[in-house]
């Protein structure tokens, strides 16, 4: 069973304590915590991880939020997964193992309903052009899950002229296509609303969606938003769980049911003022286009490639053959969930740093020792 499928099934299980984010010492510290000691689930601002954030105008569309960290070395352009935000990369960007320019793209466009692979790949190319003009610096594209698929589509379409490397994190065509069959059930199994940001962060950790508390405290802020129309009598569409649709017996009964549902909806919004920022269920028509043919597209990109996985069982036939032929570098990071870069940010940073040094895209400093994977 793949890490993505496991995380989907875990979402339907009772809450469990999270695994350590990284390193053995952190695990020991957690074990020493007394029963009266409470964990801190309070949100952390983005400014603790990124140096600046700018709006970039692209094709007369404003709202391409780009977060910056670092000013040396090649640019790492990071693309987040579906439903996540640029903040999912926050802890990764401050890893002591990386001294590079890190740009994290979070796009807001005029037509947010168009989430096709072609459109989002063009968005990436347009952002690079808007930021750097005709002479962009050396860039490595790194994408997690859906972001990894978009990175591959961007690379295969030659939309970034200075692209020197490509990295996919925990996304493989075969297992992704298999997981899509149960994705709607997984999404229905998530809470629809949260009482507070702290409540959302606590859920993400205890459900195993994010196993690193530090990352969850900054990442979940970008995944949820305040419910709209909390004080408005009209409100927005109901997000309340458990409302039973009743057949209309007569016009008067129908009006009574509708009124009662609206009142219940408003009360729930007052008690649970946060909901998911992205309604992933509505993007289903694009899922197939994100992942179908992804393995062959990845293998056909004529640049050095890196694949980071949470489990070796995820490889499909095409990638297994390609890996045996040495067409890309692969590394498995065990004891991670689907959000590999959040659960083990230092290990991902080490893998990326080793990749950059191995291909002479960067020079090691401070006695950094490359640890080349055995597979």
**pLDDT tens digit sequence for 153-197:** 999 999 999 999 999 999 999 989 988 989 999 999 999 999 999
Q: What is the pLDDT of residue 15?
A: 41
Beta strands in the chain (DSSP E): 52-58, 61-69, 75-79, 101-107, 139-144, 163-169, 193-194, 224-226, 274-276, 305-309, 329-332
56 — pLDDT class (breaks 50, 70, 90): confident
DSSP-derived secondary structure for 125-170: HHHHHHHHTTSPPPEEEEEETHHHHHHHHHHHTT--TTEEEEEEES
Identify the weakest region by mean pLDDT among 68-72, 79-83, 291-295: 68-72
Q: What is the DSSP letter of 305?
A: E
Residue 269: pLDDT over 80? no
Residue 309: pLDDT over 50? yes
Q: What is the pLDDT of residue 160?
A: 95
Residue with tokens 């408003």: 266
Q: Which of 67-81, 106-120, 351-365 has the highest mean pLDDT?
A: 351-365
**What pTM, to 2 d.p., does this model score?**
0.76
51 — pLDDT class (breaks 50, 70, 90): confident
Residue 129: half-sphere exposure toward Cβ, Cα within 13 Å: 12
Do 85 and 223 meet the contact criterion of CB atoms below 8 Å apart? yes
Q: CB burial class (10 A; 0-12, 13-18, 19+) of residue 346?
A: middle
For the chain, which residues make up each domain, given as ranges?
41-186+284-359
% the chain with pLDDT above 90: 51
Query: By 3-state DSSP, what share of the chain in percent is helix, strand and coil, each rounded to 5?
Result: 40, 15, 40
More confident: 31 or 346: 346
Which residues are known catalytic residues?
A: 145, 170, 338
Average pLDDT over residues 5-29: 41
Residue 296: pLDDT over 70? yes
265-288 burial code (b ≥16 CB/10 A, e <16): bbebbeebbbbbebebeebeebbe
**pLDDT tens digit sequence for 71-112:** 567 889 999 999 999 899 999 988 866 655 566 555 566 667
Of 282, 290, 264, nearest in space to 188 by CA: 282
Residue with tokens 């379409």: 157
Average pLDDT over residues 318-344: 93
**pLDDT tens digit sequence for 188-244:** 999 999 999 999 999 999 999 999 999 999 999 999 999 976 543 333 333 333 322
Rounded CA-CA distance 162/132 in Å is: 11
Rounded CA-CA distance 319/326 in Å is: 10
Residue with tokens 């750097």: 132
Number of H helices and E strands in the chain, helices first, is 15, 11
Average pLDDT over residues 262-282: 74
Of 357, 368, 351, 320, nearest in space to 167 by CA: 351
% the chain with pLDDT above 70: 67
Fold classified for 41-186+284-359: Rossmann fold (3.40.50)
Report the 10 Å Cβ neighbour count for 364.
Answer: 12
More confident: 369 or 36: 369
Of 211, 203, 209, 204, nearest in space to 19 by CA: 211
**pLDDT tens digit sequence for 121-135:** 999 999 899 888 889
Residue 22: pLDDT over 60? no
Do 3 and 336 meet the contact criterion of CB atoms below 8 Å apart? yes
Q: What is the pLDDT of residue 29?
A: 36
Do 92 and 167 meet the contact criterion of CB atoms below 8 Å apart? no
More confident: 131 or 322: 322
Residue 58: pLDDT over 50? yes
Rounded CA-CA distance 97/354 in Å is: 10
Q: What is the pLDDT of residue 33?
A: 46
Residue 272: pLDDT over 90? no
Rounded (10°) CA dihedral 280, 283, 285, 288 = -70
247 — pLDDT class (breaks 50, 70, 90): very low
Do 124 and 105 meet the contact criterion of CB atoms below 8 Å apart? yes
Rounded CA-CA distance 331/359 in Å is: 16
- Can you read off the two tokens belonging to residue 263? 């009142």
Residue 38: pLDDT over 90? no
Q: CB burial class (10 A; 0-12, 13-18, 19+) of residue 155?
A: buried
114 — pLDDT class (breaks 50, 70, 90): confident
Average pLDDT over residues 58-79: 67
Q: What is the pLDDT of residue 98?
A: 61
């Amino acid at each position: 069973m793949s890490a993505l499928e496991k995380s989907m099934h875990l979402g339907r299980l009772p809450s469990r304590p999270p695994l350590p984010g990284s390193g053995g010492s952190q695990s020991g510290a957690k074990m020493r915590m007394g029963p009266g000691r409470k964990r801190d689930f309070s949100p952390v601002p983005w400014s603790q991880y990124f140096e600046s954030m700018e709006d970039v105008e692209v094709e007369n569309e404003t709202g391409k939020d780009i977060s910056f960290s670092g000013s040396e070395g090649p640019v790492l352009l990071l693309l987040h997964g579906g439903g996540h935000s640029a903040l999912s990369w926050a802890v990764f960007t401050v890893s002591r193992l990386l001294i590079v320019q890190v740009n994290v793209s979070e796009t807001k466009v005029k037509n947010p309903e168009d989430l096709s692979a072609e459109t989002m790949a063009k968005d990436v190319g347009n952002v690079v052009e808007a930021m750097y003009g005709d002479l962009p610096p050396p860039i490595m594209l790194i994408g997690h899950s859906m972001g990894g698929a978009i990175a591959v589509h961007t690379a295969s379409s030659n939309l970034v002229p200075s692209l020197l490397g490509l990295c996919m994190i925990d996304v493989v065509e075969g297992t992704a296509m298999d997981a899509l069959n149960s994705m709607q059930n997984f999404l229905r199994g998530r809470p629809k609303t949260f009482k507070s940001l702290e409540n959302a962060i606590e859920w993400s950790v205890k459900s195993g969606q994010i196993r690193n508390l530090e990352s969850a405290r900054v990442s979940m802020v970008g995944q949820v938003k305040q419910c709209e129309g909390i004080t408005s009598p009209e409100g927005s569409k109901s997000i309340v769980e458990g409302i039973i649709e009743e057949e209309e017996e007569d016009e008067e009964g129908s009006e009574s049911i509708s009124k009662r549902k609206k009142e219940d909806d408003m009360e729930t919004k007052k008690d649970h003022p946060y909901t998911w920022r992205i309604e992933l269920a509505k993007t289903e028509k694009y899922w197939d286009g994100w992942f179908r043919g992804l393995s062959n597209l990845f293998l056909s990109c004529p640049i050095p490639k890196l694949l980071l996985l949470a489990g070796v069982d995820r490889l499909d036939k095409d990638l297994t053959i390609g890996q045996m032929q040495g067409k890309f570098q692969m590394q498995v990071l065990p004891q991670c969930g689907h959000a590999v870069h959040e659960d083990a940010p230092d290990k991902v940073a080490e893998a990326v740093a080793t990749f950059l040094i191995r291909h002479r895209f960067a020079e090691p400093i401070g006695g950094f020792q490359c640890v080349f994977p055995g597979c």
